């Protein structure tokens, strides 16, 4: 599933290439079950100009010139790509034909993602985003640390909890825990304030590096123009169970935390 860096990379790419463009026509080959129905979605966007593209948590937001917002949640295999005009593909769910002849499309092979259009003011009332915690790149590590210390829950589970901190998924939780030297099963109450501050400092560094490297492409993710990311080449632990730790040389292990596989180094990330 695309996490904060991947959605941020897409948002920045689209903001640079589609802002100011007008949606002239819309094709709807087959929206996903969770998407807004075409009969209500299309009239809201037809003829509207794109004012800005941004991100909140793992959601891609496209503000239109009348104050409404298109929201895309990519889930596992969703893509939002801008490029030359073409015929609809097998996995395309909705295609926006823009006034310069280009095409903006949402494709989703497994159909778990969705697109919705919120009228002006409605986005602030959307329960999904109302429950999301602070943005990790816009919040001081000391503030984020206060949200996990004292909690009787595994630190990995807290990182994945979107109400604690926004946009973090399995990849960047594992990578930041490794850099901070914290075992994923350690309870928040056992981490301590200083180590929690270090964790969120490392998380910010990991997210910023991933954004700079165009995100992580493991299976389906591509950026706004269809290009793959490169941060997967910098993974220290994610997906490397049984391989040698890049820091100490010992074998990496994996456990299940909060229903997700968590890869770590038992020597560099001792459990407390």
DSSP secondary structure code for residue 129 in this structure: H
d(CA 51, CA 55): 14
Question: In 3-state terms, what secondary structure has residue 59?
Answer: strand
Question: In 3-state terms, what secondary structure has residue 6?
Answer: helix
The strand pairing partners of 8, in sequence order, are none
Tell me, yes or no, if 2 is annotated catalytic.
yes
d(CA 79, CA 104): 10
Of the candidates 3, 6, 8, 36, the residue annotated as catalytic is: 3
d(CA 159, CA 169): 8
Length of the chain: 272
In this structure, the dihedral spanned by the alpha carbons of residues 10, 13, 16 and 18, taken in order and rounded to 10 degrees, is -60
Of the candidates 48, 58, 111, 179, the residue annotated as catalytic is: 58
Of the candidates 52, 240, 260, 267, the residue annotated as catalytic is: 260
Tell me, yes or no, if 58 is annotated catalytic.
yes
Structural tokens at position 240: 């490397």
Query: What is the end-to-end Cα distance of the chain in Å, rounded?
Result: 30
The Cα angle at residue 33 between residues 5 and 46, in degrees rounded to 5: 75
Tell me, yes or no, if 3 is annotated catalytic.
yes
Residue among 115, 80, 93 nearest 30 (CA): 93
Contacts of 90 (CB under 8 A, 6+ apart): none
Say if strands 78-84 and 260-264 run parallel, antiparallel, or are unpaired: unpaired
d(CA 183, CA 62): 38
Structural tokens at position 238: 């994610």
Of the candidates 2, 5, 136, 184, the residue annotated as catalytic is: 2
Residues belonging to the active site? 2-3, 58, 260
């Amino acid at each position: 599933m695309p996490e904060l860096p991947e959605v941020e990379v897409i948002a920045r790419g689209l903001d640079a290439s589609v802002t100011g463009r007008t949606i002239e026509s819309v094709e709807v080959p087959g929206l996903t079950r969770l998407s807004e129905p075409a009969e209500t979605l299309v009239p809201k966007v037809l003829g509207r100009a794109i004012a800005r593209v941004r991100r909140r948590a793992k959601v891609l937001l496209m503000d239109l010139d009348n104050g409404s917002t298109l929201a895309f949640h990519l889930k596992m295999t969703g893509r939002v790509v801008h490029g030359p005009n073409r015929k609809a593909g097998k996995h395309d769910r909705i295609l926006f034909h823009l006034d310069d002849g280009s095409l903006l499309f949402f494709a989703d092979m497994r159909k778990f993602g969705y697109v919705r259009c919120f009228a002006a003011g409605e986005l602030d009332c959307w329960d999904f985003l109302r429950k999301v915690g602070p943005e990790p790149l816009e919040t001081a590590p000391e503030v984020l640390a206060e949200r996990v210390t004292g909690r009787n829950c595994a630190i990995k589970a807290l990182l994945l909890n979107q109400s604690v901190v926004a946009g973090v998924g399995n990849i960047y939780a594992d990578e930041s825990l490794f850099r901070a030297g914290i075992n994923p099963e350690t309870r928040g109450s056992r981490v301590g304030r200083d180590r929690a501050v270090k964790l969120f400092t490392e998380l910010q560094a990991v997210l910023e590096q991933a954004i700079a490297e165009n995100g992580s492409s493991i299976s389906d993710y591509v950026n706004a123009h269809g290009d793959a990311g490169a941060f997967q080449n910098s993974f220290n632990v994610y997906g490397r169970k049984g391989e040698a730790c890049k820091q100490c040389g010992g074998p990496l292990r994996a456990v299940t935390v909060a229903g997700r596989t968590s890869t770590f180094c038992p020597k560099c990330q001792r459990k407390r």
